Each structure stands twice: as C-alpha cells, then as structure tokens.
C-alpha cells in the first residue's frame, strides 16, 4: 500500500504477538483484529460484531483483555499481545483450554478464543474465584451456542486444574 494521507497513511508498527516480534506497515484505520487476522495471519482471533459487544475478538494486551475490534493497530506499537494461538505453552494446552474441552464449553467454537483469553487473564489474577466472580468474569462475552452453563463449569474446572498443577 502506498503512502497517502490521513486515515490511509501507512504507519510502521512493531508488536510482539505470542512472543514473536512483528513489524507491519498499516494504515492508521487498520483495526488490531484485522491486523492480527489478515496482516499476521493469526486467524484464531474472531470478529463477531466489530462494535465491541460480543467479545469474540478479545486478546490480551500486555496481559489484560481488550477488544481488538475497538483497537487501532497503530496504538499497540511496542506492546505485547497474546492471542488464542499463544495460550498453549510449548505445545501443551493450558488449563483453561483443557477445561473448555473437558466440560464441553464450546460448540461452534467461534466465540471460544474470546472466552479463553478473558478467562486466562481472570484466573491468573483470581486463582480461587467464587461462583459470582466467575459469572461476572464471563459476562462480557456472547455465546450463541452453549447457553453458558458448560462455559461456567469450564472456568471452575480450569481453576481446579490450575490449583492442582501449581500445588
């Protein structure tokens, strides 16, 4: 893309995604979700609404969950991003990933990357959550398939696995 003006002007952005350093040149209006999916080919991050409500596009920015569809790629220059592709460490599924499959916490799997990222950050900060806290933690993500019951079960199970493995 050639250098033009305004929103179309290309900017060089450096970002670390799942521990890998990337340099991309994107127009100012490029959404982080599009940058991850289309510029970096990390299509695990999904876009369900592109207006910040469904949470499917949730990724971790310096460890904190954000909506990548509401974030311009240029604004994360120099930051670290974790996407669903980066949750498994050294090929081993994370406790959250394992719990979701164990508890049948996904059906079509479209919302799942957003839930996994959200829950990963949540359980890092709160290792022994109450029922209320779990409900609260996932209440910003939409799922049209599961009715949430097994997602909630999966979060509790993930906390359990996490405790078992660190204990």
66 part of the interface to ligand FES, by CB under 6 A: no
First to last CA, the chain: 52
Judged by beta carbon distances under 5 to 8 A according to partner kind, the member of ligand FES, another protein, none in contact with residue 116 is another protein
The residue among 111 and 123 lying less far from ligand FES, judged by its C-beta, is 111
CA-nearest of 91, 95, 98 to 18 is: 91
Interaction site with another protein (CB under 8 A): 2, 4, 27, 29-30, 37-38, 41-51, 53-54, 56, 83-85, 87-88, 93, 97, 100-102, 104, 106-113, 116, 135-136, 138-152
The residue among 98 and 167 lying less far from another protein, judged by its C-beta, is 98
28-31, Cβ contacts within 8 angstroms, sequence gap of 24 or more: 28/72, 28/74, 29/72, 30/72, 30/73, 30/74, 31/68, 31/69, 31/70, 31/71, 31/72, 31/73
Min dist. Cβ of residue 142 to another protein (A): 6
**Is 68 in contact with 117 (CB distance < 8 Å)?**
no
43 part of the interface to ligand FES, by CB under 6 A: no
Q: From CA 144, how far away is CA 93, in angstroms rounded?
A: 25
Judged by beta carbon distances under 5 to 8 A according to partner kind, the member of another protein, ligand FES, none in contact with residue 57 is ligand FES
The neighbour count for residue 51, using CB atoms within 10 Å, is 9
The residue among 70 and 78 lying less far from another protein, judged by its C-beta, is 70
Q: Which residue has the tokens 């670290």?
A: 80
Over the window 123 to 162, marking each residue x when it contacts ligand FES by CB under 6 A and - when it does not, the resulting string is --------------------xxxx----------------
Binding residues for ligand FES, per CB under 6 A?
47-50, 52-57, 67, 69, 106-112, 143-146
């Amino acid at each position: 893309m050639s250098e033009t003006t305004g929103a179309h002007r290309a900017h060089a952005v450096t970002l670390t995604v799942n521990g890998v350093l990337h340099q991309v040149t994107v127009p100012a209006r490029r959404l982080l979700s599009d940058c991850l999916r289309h510029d970096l080919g990390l299509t695990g991050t999904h876009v369900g609404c592109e207006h910040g409500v469904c949470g499917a596009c949730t990724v971790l920015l310096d460890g904190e969950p954000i909506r990548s569809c509401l974030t311009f790629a240029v604004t994360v220059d120099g930051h670290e991003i974790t996407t669903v592709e980066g949750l498994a460490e050294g090929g081993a599924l994370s406790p959250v990933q394992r719990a979701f499959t164990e508890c049948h916490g996904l059906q079509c799997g479209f919302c799942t990357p957003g839930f996994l990222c959200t829950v990963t950050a949540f359980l890092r900060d709160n290792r022994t959550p109450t029922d209320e806290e779990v409900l609260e933690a996932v209440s910003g993500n939409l799922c049209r398939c599961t009715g949430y019951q097994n997602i909630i079960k999966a979060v509790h199970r993930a906390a359990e696995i996490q405790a078992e493995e660190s204990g």
